[in-house]
Structures are given as C-alpha cells and as structure tokens.
Amino acid sequence: MIAQIRKASVSIPSNIAEGFVRHHSKEYKQFLYISLGSCAELDTQLIIANRRNFLTMEKLEELAEDINHESRMIASLISKL
C-alpha cells in the first residue's frame, strides 16, 4: 500500500512537468488529466488506508483537503489552456 501511495503522489507533479516540456497545449492537457487521475487514485488509497486503520480520520481529512486543492489547481490550469 505504501508503495502505491508513493507512486501516485510522485506521479502527480511528474506528469505535470512532463506535459509542460512537450510545448503543445493538447499534450500538456493530456498529462494534466493523468495528474488528476493520480490525485483520485491517491485519495482512494488514503481512504483504504484509513479503513484499514493505517491512517487516522483526522490525517485523512487533512490529506484529502490537500489533494482536493491540488485537483482544483490542475483543473483550473486545464481550463486556461
């Protein structure tokens, strides 16, 4: 589970960066959508971690808010391209 959480969390900024260096807005958007998918994956993994008592509800809520904020920023960027 930890490996999956790490992979998803690293995937978010990595896809943003990879898309940015492509210099084509269509490709950049595609990578941004992949980043959004990674946000959803990370959120789901954290919910599962909470249900398995690996993560407190308080920490889950804090991290979920961070992920939600990140997702909104990515969606805003997509809408501006």
Q: What is the pTM of this model?
A: 0.92
Cβ–Cβ < 8 Å for 67, 30: no
Question: What phi and psi values does residue 55 have, to the nearest 5 degrees?
Answer: -145, 135
Encode pLDDT of 9-60 as tens digits. Answer: 999 999 999 999 988 999 999 999 999 999 999 999 999 999 999 999 999 9
Evaluate if residue 6 carries a pLDDT over 90. Answer: yes
Find the domain containing 14 and state its range: 2-80
Q: How many structural domains comprise the chain?
A: 1
Q: Which two tokens stand for residue 78?
A: 């997509």
Distances from the Cα of 17 to the Cα of 4, 38, 41, 76, 78, angstroms = 20, 14, 19, 16, 14
**CATH number for 46:** 1.20.1440.60
